[in-house]
A and B are shown apart, each in its own frame.
Chain A
């Protein structure tokens, strides 16, 4: 496959593997956090960890859109479906995320609610156009990558006068989350999580550019390398991070130059700024309330805001007892540290959000990696 297989070549992987092994200092550890679930997925799917020296570890961050969405927001959507009989449309893997009372969007769909999966906001608009008698609510979720299409959909709905369309906005912001992790007591004070460097997001950075990371590279003295999602991108970026760490630098470097610029996609940024604005604070699963970390719909587009149209109740549900998703999302624990992992929490029956999406650290461990530590999964139902 042209333009894809070039970034999955085994011969180059071996060369990079040897280069990293030659570069690392044997007496120290390199804990590198990949913020994005896309990187987590690539690391596990291609078996990248195996090509790393023992003292290079990947710490999995919170950059999995469905993983960080708090249960309360899904409860709200389920409430909307049950109380107002709307048509709810959203992206694929949100459907399986467990909500309160052992519910999920997939389960309420099975019980008769009108929930539909779409690949793009264009499909969401199409459903609204084709069903003028139904209220169609788009459950918008994701980081900066999926935000511009939501903004475009809202503008389009206004231009068309599509009165039965609205958006339940749950878009969140990457830089705020990274800063929150760096500020967390585990990283700052306790030192229980040592993070030596970051892989910067790929798709997100194509929109926001590499500039927003410059602040915390400087402020927290951590190197950042913007990395593409292909396995060779991850390996090349690892080499770049190792070199920065060895030479005591903490800069923002860009490995993903084929897509990401320093400024990013200014047109997309302007579109988002026209339709959406910062929320004062937003709850993240794992991180709690994070100030200025999410977006809401601006007053001038208020008629398309599902939260205003339907008066959606704010729900603050708790995670399942024993579920370590919050600590795993902060990089403070590994999936295998959770006592639910592989016993009651498996992809067929996820207890926490990290087991749902293939970008989630628990699902990635379970689906791709558990043969390395088979006894941790001995109590599994599968």
Chain B
């Protein structure tokens, strides 16, 4: 690939590849911006840069991840995602076939989610100044009336739910890294969660918090929420759903699944009286079959997330400091 100076080659690339795959009425306006009608009410907007190695992994690739990631960030406000924008930074020499594969995957993910990419931009940087491809996606969404979901609303007594097994994405990524090949049939859980969120919000508009435990996993995300809401949390290890393959891989690699990334799961905090109903709604959805109530919010001035271990003891579930590194012994 030698495009990038804004010349004809670039125009052709955009025309051919992006429009062909991501085609929709708004994108076809072919202006530097997309114009659309604004519905009345509250909107949310979110943006996320996607860098990942390897670019293609079991259960997804950087393209589908870029669509799901931003849809999920928008949806965690309870909003219905409307539109996406995508910015690409390509490294000179990045194979066109790989780009096509990524864009086709984005197209499929966007179509399945029903959230179109309506504007975009591409830049090519010199070889050595990028890592193949970086994708930034931005999304906007509409928040239903009466829904007030925020990370600072967790209250002592609230129930903590997760929508499924923890750590699937991180383990799938690790298993496909060049220096870490191990046999597993684990696939990334990468998925757009707005359908699940819509069902949950329709059933219980009073949900306090929603967040997707991506980098840093469940442990780090719960600590963020505890800090934001100035509360503590109490978890029960045996109630946290973890796929046996993920447990085994983590055991082998010396990692803790609670710190391993997810891309298609959410954490929900709600009043105790709504927990059973929400659990039922989550389990009825394809992306929430293994949903579980894993603990509750407590009053605690230090903001500790504690856990009763399956073994019968208790401990802190702390923030992740830097990358999780395997132990030597």
Q: List chain A positions with a Cβ less than 8 A from chain B.
A: 1, 4, 8-10, 13-14, 17, 36-38, 41, 44-51, 63-66, 91-96, 106, 116-119, 123, 141-143, 145-146, 203, 231, 346-348, 357-359, 366-371, 374, 377-378, 382
Whether A66 pairs with B313 at a CB distance below 8 angstroms is: no
**Complex CA distance for A371 and B304, rounded to whole angstroms:** 7
| 29 pairs of residues in contact across A and B, judged by CB atoms under 8 Å | A1-B248, A9-B311, A14-B312, A37-B327, A45-B309, A45-B315, A50-B312, A63-B329, A65-B328, A66-B328, A92-B325, A92-B327, A92-B328, A94-B328, A119-B180, A119-B253, A142-B328, A142-B329, A146-B328, A146-B329, A203-B329, A358-B327, A359-B327, A367-B318, A368-B316, A370-B304, A370-B316, A374-B304, A377-B302
Contact B179 A44 (CB under 8 A): no
A336 to B325, CA, bound (A): 24
Q: Which residues of B contact A359 (CB under 8 A)?
A: 327-329
Q: With both chains docked as a complex, state the minimum distance between the C-beta of A308 and any C-beta of chain B, in angstroms.
A: 25
Interface contacts beyond A13-B312, A119-B179: sample of 16 additional A-B pairs, CB < 8 Å, sorted by A: A1-B251, A41-B327, A49-B313, A50-B314, A92-B327, A93-B327, A95-B325, A117-B325, A119-B180, A142-B329, A231-B313, A347-B321, A348-B321, A357-B327, A359-B329, A371-B304
Chain B residues contacting A64 (CB-CB under 8 Å) are 329
| Inter-chain contact A37/B329, CB cutoff 8 Å | yes
What residues on A are CB-neighbors of B248 within 8 Å? 1
Q: What 0/1 readout, one digit per residue, does chain B (247-268) give for beta carbons within 8 Å of chain A?
A: 1100101100000000000000
Q: Bound state CA distance, A348 and B318, in angstroms? A: 11
Our pick among B244, B310, B315 for the contact of A10 (Cβ within 8 Å) is B310
Flag whether B56 is at the interface (Cβ < 8 A). Answer: no
Instruction: Write out the residue numbers on chain A whose beta carbons fall within 8 Å of the beta carbon of B318.
Output: 347, 366-368
Nearest neighbor of A380 in chain B, beta-carbon distance: B302
Q: Write out the residue numbers on chain A whose beta carbons fall within 8 Å of the beta carbon of B312.
A: 10, 13-14, 17, 47, 50-51
Report which residue of B248, B253, B315, B322 has the largest number of chain A beta carbons within 10 angstroms of its beta carbon: B315
Chain B nearest Cβ from A293, distance in angstroms: 17
Q: Closest B-chain residue to A370, C-beta based? A: B316
Q: Give complex CA distance A119, B254 in Å.
A: 10
Contact residue among A36, A96, A143, A203 (Cβ-Cβ distance under 8 Å from B322): A96
Q: What CA separation (Å) do A17 and B248 show in the bound complex?
A: 27
Residue of B251, B313, B328 near A93 (CB, 8 A) is B328
Residues in B whose Cβ lies below 8 Å from that of A92: 254, 325-328
Decide if B194 is an interface residue (CB 8 Å cutoff): no
In the bound assembly, the distance between CA atoms of A92 and B327 in angstroms comes to 6
Q: Tell me which residues from 219 to 270 in chain B have a Cβ below 8 Å from any Cβ of chain A.
A: 244, 247-248, 251, 253-254
Chain A residues closer than 8 Å to B254, beta-carbon distance: 92
> Given the complex, which residues of B lie within 8 Å of A145, measured CB to CB?
329
* Docked CA distance A94–B180 (Å): 18
In the bound assembly, the distance between CA atoms of A366 and B315 in angstroms comes to 10
Instruction: Name B262-299 residues within 8 Å CB distance of A.
Output: none
- Contact of B88 with A by CB under 8 A: no
- Asked if B306 CB lies within 8 Å of chain A CBs, one says yes
In-complex Cβ contact of B309 among A46, A96, A357 (8 A): A46
B57 at the interface (CB under 8 A from A): no
CA distance A49 to B319 in the complex (A): 22
Asked whether A368 and B311 contact (CB < 8 A) given A93-B327, A142-B329, the answer is no
Contact A368 B328 (CB under 8 A): no
Contact check, A38 vs B302: say whether CB atoms are below 8 A apart.
no
The answer to whether A369 and B327 touch across the interface, beta carbons within 8 angstroms, is no
How far does the Cβ of B115 sit from chain A's closest Cβ, in whole Å?
36
Specify which of B253, B302, B312, B314 lies most central, judged by the most chain A CB atoms within 10 Å of its CB.
B312
Contact of B328 among A14, A44, A51, A91 (CB under 8 A): A91
Please measure, in the bound complex, the distance between the C-alpha atom of A116 and the C-alpha atom of B140, giving whole angstroms.
40
In Å, the complex CA distance between A129 and B116 comes to: 47
B327 and A8 contact, CB distance less than 8 A:
no
Chain A residues, CB < 8 A from B247: 1
State the Cβ distance, A158 to closest chain B Cβ, in Å. 23
Contact between B322 and A367 (Cβ–Cβ < 8 Å)? no
- Roughly how many angstroms separate A145 CA and B329 CA in the complex, as a whole number? 7
Asked whether, in the complex, the Cβ of B315 is within 8 Å of the Cβ of A44, the reply is yes
Q: A128 to chain B: closest CB distance in Å?
A: 13
Within the assembled complex, what's the spacing in Å between the Cα atoms of A199 and B229?
Answer: 42
Bound Cα distance A371, B301 (Å) = 11
Given contacts A1-B248, A4-B251, A371-B306, contact A93 B325 (CB under 8 A): yes
Q: Which residues of B contact A368 (CB under 8 A)?
A: 315-316, 318
A39 to B9, CA, bound (A): 62
Question: Which residue on chain A has the smallest CB distance to residue B242?
Answer: A1
Question: In the bound complex, do residue B309 and residue A118 qualify as a contact, i.e. CB atoms below 8 Å apart?
Answer: no
User: Is B326 a contact partner of A371 (Cβ separation < 8 A)?
Assistant: no
Assembled-state Cα–Cα distance A106/B326 (Å)? 14
Minimum CB–CB distance from A285 to chain B (whole Å) comes to: 15
Chain B residues lying within 8 Å of A116, measured Cβ to Cβ, are 179
Contact yes or no, B329 A374, CB < 8 A: no
A143 to B179 alpha-carbon distance, docked (Å): 24
Asked if A141 contacts B315 (CB within 8 A), the reply is: no
The residue of chain A having its C-beta at the shortest distance from the C-beta of B179 within the complex is A123
List, in ascending order, chain A residues with CB within 8 A of B328's CB.
65-66, 91-94, 141-142, 146, 357, 359
Least Cβ–Cβ distance between A31 and chain B, in angstroms: 20
